[in-house]
A and B are shown apart, each in its own frame.
Chain A
Amino acid sequence: MQVNSLGLTEAQPENNVIRIVLESLGVTLSKKARCRALQLPAWNEALGLPRPWDQQWSLRIQQILACETDLLDHEDIFDGSVVIEARTAELVEASREELQRVLDMGGAVAAVDNAYMKQRLVESHTARVREIESGERIVVGLNAYTEAEPSLLTTGDAGASILVVDDDAEREQIERLQAFRRQRNQKEVEAALANLGDVLANGGNVMPPSIRAAHAGVTTGEWADALRALFGEYRAPTGVSGGQPRAASAETLEVRERTRKLGEKLGRPLKILVGKPGLDGHSNGAEQIAVRARDVGMEVVYDGIRLTPEEIVQSARDEGVHLIGLSILSGSHGVLVMDVLRRLQEAGLDLPVVVGGIIPDADARALTEAGVRRVYTPKDFDLTRIMGEMVDVVAESHGLH
């Protein structure tokens, strides 16, 4: 069981330790429902990448639970609990209904293809974000009890509370890969890849040629390229166009009006590109930005995850957008954003760029200095405010302020 880090906050990050403990109890207290393996997030995942010390802390939570309590000595401590039984029955019933719905669609593969699953994920997250914005759902330290002493876990040197990846790591990895490739028997590699290609083309069993390829030292990338050459690359539905907007708040209506007016001044409605460059698949933020931008009246091009900077710039130019919003949670914001900015400049496109993601303060300052108009991090939970600022950014970039 990998416990979700969705509920972790950037604000008052020390509170996350308590959240992680509660989540771990949730999946361990009942013996009958106890997970077989547990992976807990680290307290600082909303700030950046965890260091070994942070990961150790999360591991210790499990060890304290296992060794310093008598949890493991008992049968299921919920046996006989009317409340837990009733909640379980509710969950079982709701799950059965959901499974039936998916079966009626033709099964899980069909429900992925027709975007049903992804749409439901996006919708439920949209509802959660709205509840946090309206205060209906309290997240301590984020939208309630926000007064705080400076966190002793994050004071000190900039970047001292997260893992800072050495700039040389990528270069070193590439060098290791190249060294590995040099010591392979190139003839064997080529023969293995040719064999894989033949089997793929004839629709045969891919396992034997794949094993042969592995023995020959064919890399994962080379192996996958052989498959891509024949099958192309799967792009999952984004799920963002499913949900219907609910009753708009006064703030939403205000931004919608400003969006409309700016569109009139610009000659056409505000059009934006929401792009997710790089390899991380954490699309929640990008999806919520895309949905809310639609709700305030923007025309939104959202191309899903794992885009290259080149694809983003091409898309921005061809689609004629007024602004690019990039979402990056992989920690590679430095390289990827700079790459997009450089390519925009080379293409002669003077487009404003805003960036959202898990971005440490020092990096945010560097991005702003490089020309990024706004940087948003998990503490910016008010999406409508972000929309208003995006309208301002476009207006500023057209000298309309």
Chain B
Amino acid sequence: MASTELAERLLARDRAAVPDALNLIDDRRPARRDESFALLDRLQREVGDGGALRVGVTGAPGSGKSTLLDALVRALRRRERSVGIIAVDPSSPKSGGALLGDRVRLRSAAGDPGVFVRSMAARDRLGGLADATFAGVEVLCAVFDWVFVETVGVGQSESEVAGLVDTLAFVAQPAAGDLLQFMKAGIVELPHLFVVNKTDLGPAAERTAAELQAGLRLGEAPEDGWAPVVLRASARDGGGVDAVLEAMEAHRRHLEATGGLKERRRRGRIAFVREALVRRYGSYGIQRFGGREKLDERLGAAEGSSAFRLVRDVAREIETALAEACA
């Protein structure tokens, strides 16, 4: 299917076009790369900086992220909002294979055309996001009202996922010993909301929420003027789930009111482009181009260009610089 037709169908919010589009953006063959580029460039320009709420959900294994996400999806479906989800799981560094099992707990996805789930393996990005995740979010945002990116919180992925969503939610389970580790690593400085899950477990949840509140007071003040909130929820009995959705919507309104949304998306795009270029050309390539500062300047000046076009354009410039270095 030609990418123009795919783009038309996605922009008309045709769910049936989503799997094909996601297969296309994941395809490394040169001819397909060109089609994929055309599709993504157009989507990013036409969808613009409004549209779907983009929410990252992260947390340690066992914190109940998927179960909470399932409860959120059910609540959104009751409000007749459609939902697209990308669930990222780590790849085995040895075999390159991956076990993607997140659908198991996303029961609400079954048989409902208003819910879409795609699992992605992180591939060679240890603890990070799949290459296709950034592009996948663009595809889902064209079609669905809410888009979630779910990752296992193991360090690197928090800051990466923070770059491609508007709102980052961190899910903690009561009495989790890893909270302190997260605080030390500064990861608590990224999320906009913290959800202490499994409040049906009783007092441990209250203690964890109090610890988080205390930890937040010690952390760095958020730069977008939003004070992170700590919420309690129980995916099991549905308690607190609506409040979580409301907090996500409140953060989005805050971003829109302060102009932070546009800025956040712009920074997310630049981070994606920088990351893609550094990975492709290494520090040597960037040095030949004129160094980090020159690159950041170049990226910062590229207003109005899609991230995908920017990768392509600046890649050509770096290749020219490299060719000159070899000559």
Show the binding face of A for B, using Cβ within 8 Å: 113-115, 231-233, 235-238, 240-241, 245, 248, 256, 259-260, 264, 267-269, 290-291, 293-304, 308, 310-311, 314-315, 317-320
* Residue B62 is within 8 A (CB to CB) of chain A in the complex: yes
Say yes or no: A295 contacts B101, CB within 8 Å: no
Q: Which of B100, B236, B237 contacts A300 (CB 8 A)?
A: B100
Q: Which chain B residues border A300 with CB–CB below 8 Å?
A: 97-100
The reply to whether A318 and B18 form a contact with Cβ atoms under 8 Å apart is: yes
Question: Known contacts A245-B94, A318-B19; is A269 also within 8 Å of B62 by CB?
Answer: no
In angstroms, Cα B117 to Cα A158, docked, is 43
Q: Which residue in A264, A291, A297, A310 is a CB contact (below 8 Å) of B99?
A: A291
Q: Which residues of B contact A235 (CB under 8 A)?
A: 104-105, 107
Are A268 and B104 in contact, CB atoms less than 8 angstroms apart?
no
A268 → chain B, closest Cβ, in Å?
A: 4
Is A297's CB under 8 angstroms from B95's CB? yes
Contacts of A113 in B (CB 8 A): 62, 64
Residues from chain B with Cβ under 8 Å of A298 in the complex: 97
Give Cα A68–Cα B2 distance, bound, in whole angstroms. Answer: 78
Considering only residues 228-243 of chain B, those with a C-beta below 8 Å from chain A are: 236-237
Q: Name A291's closest neighbour in chain B (CB-CB).
A: B99
Q: Given A297-B96, A310-B111, does the pair A268, B26 have CB atoms closer than 8 Å?
A: yes
Q: Does B313 contact A (CB under 8 A)?
A: no
Are B104 and A320 within 8 A (Cβ)? Answer: no
Nearest A residue to B70, CB-CB = A232
* CB closest residue in chain A, given B28: A267
Residue B92, interface by CB 8 Å: yes
Q: Are B18 and A269 in contact (CB under 8 A)?
A: no
**Across-interface contacts of B96 in A (CB, < 8 A):** 256, 260, 269, 297
Residue B53 at the A interface, CB < 8 A?
Answer: no
B residues within 8 A CB of A264? 28
Q: Per a CB cutoff under 8 Å, which of A241, A245, A290 touches B89?
A: A241
Which A-B residue pairs are the 6 nearest by beta carbons? A267-B27, A294-B97, A114-B62, A267-B29, A297-B96, A241-B99
- Tell me the minimal C-beta distance from A246 to chain B in angstroms: 10
A314 and B97 contacting across the interface, CB-CB below 8 Å = no
Q: Contacting B19 at CB < 8 Å: which of A268, A293, A320?
A: A320
Contact string, B40-66, partner A, CB cutoff 8 A, digits 1/0?
000000000000000000000110100
- The CA of A290 and the CA of B105, in the complex, are separated in Å by 17
- 22 pairs, CB–CB < 8 Å, chain A vs chain B: A113-B64, A115-B62, A232-B74, A235-B104, A241-B99, A245-B92, A259-B97, A267-B29, A268-B26, A290-B99, A294-B95, A297-B96, A299-B97, A300-B97, A301-B101, A302-B101, A302-B104, A310-B110, A318-B19, A318-B116, A320-B19, A320-B22
Closest residue of chain A to B16 (Cβ to Cβ) is A317
When the two chains form their complex, are residues B101 and A303 in contact, meaning their CB atoms are under 8 A apart?
yes
The CA of A33 and the CA of B70, in the complex, are separated in Å by 45
Tell whether B168 is near chain A: CB-to-CB under 8 Å: no
Choice from A231, A310, A318 contacting B117 with Cβ under 8 Å: A318
Say whether B118 faces chain A, with CB atoms less than 8 Å apart. Answer: yes
17 new A-B contacts, CB < 8 A, other than A268-B23, A303-B104, A318-B18, are A115-B62, A231-B236, A232-B108, A233-B107, A241-B101, A267-B26, A267-B28, A267-B32, A268-B26, A293-B97, A294-B95, A297-B97, A299-B100, A299-B121, A315-B103, A318-B116, A320-B22
- The distance from the CB of A358 to the nearest CB of chain B, in whole angstroms, is 24
Q: Knowing A299-B121, A320-B22, say if A240 contacts B28 (CB, 8 Å).
A: no
Given contacts A232-B74, A320-B19, contact A269 B104 (CB under 8 A): no
Counting CB contacts under 8 A, is B123 at the interface?
yes
CA distance A241 to B87 in the complex (A): 14
CB distance from B246 to the nearest CB of A (A): 21
Taking CB atoms, residues of chain B closer than 8 Å to A311 are 110-111
Q: Looking across the interface, which residue of chain A has its beta carbon closest to that of B29?
A: A267
Partner of A301, one of B18, B100, B108: B100
**Nearest-neighbor residue (CB-CB) of A255 within chain B:** B95
The minimal Cβ–Cβ distance linking B275 to chain A, given in whole angstroms, is 20
Q: A295–B100 contact, CB under 8 A?
A: no
**Bound-complex Cα distance A130 to B185 (A):** 39
Residues of A within 8 Å of B97, CB to CB, are: 259, 293-300
Closest B-chain residue to A347, C-beta based? Answer: B16
> In whole angstroms, how far apart are the Cα atoms of A241 and B99 in the complex?
6
**What is the bound-complex CA distance between A47 and B236, given in angstroms?**
41
Q: How far is the CB of A99 from chain B (nearest CB, A)?
A: 20
How far does the Cβ of B236 sit from chain A's closest Cβ, in whole Å? Answer: 8
Q: Is the CB of A295 within 8 A of B110?
A: no
Q: Are A294 and B23 in contact (CB under 8 A)?
A: no
**Chain A, Cβ-Cβ closest to B18:** A318
The answer to whether B110 and A314 touch across the interface, beta carbons within 8 angstroms, is yes
Question: Which residues of chain A are near B22, meaning CB under 8 Å?
Answer: 320
| CB–CB A299/B104 < 8 A | no
**A300 CA / B98 CA spacing, docked (Å):** 6
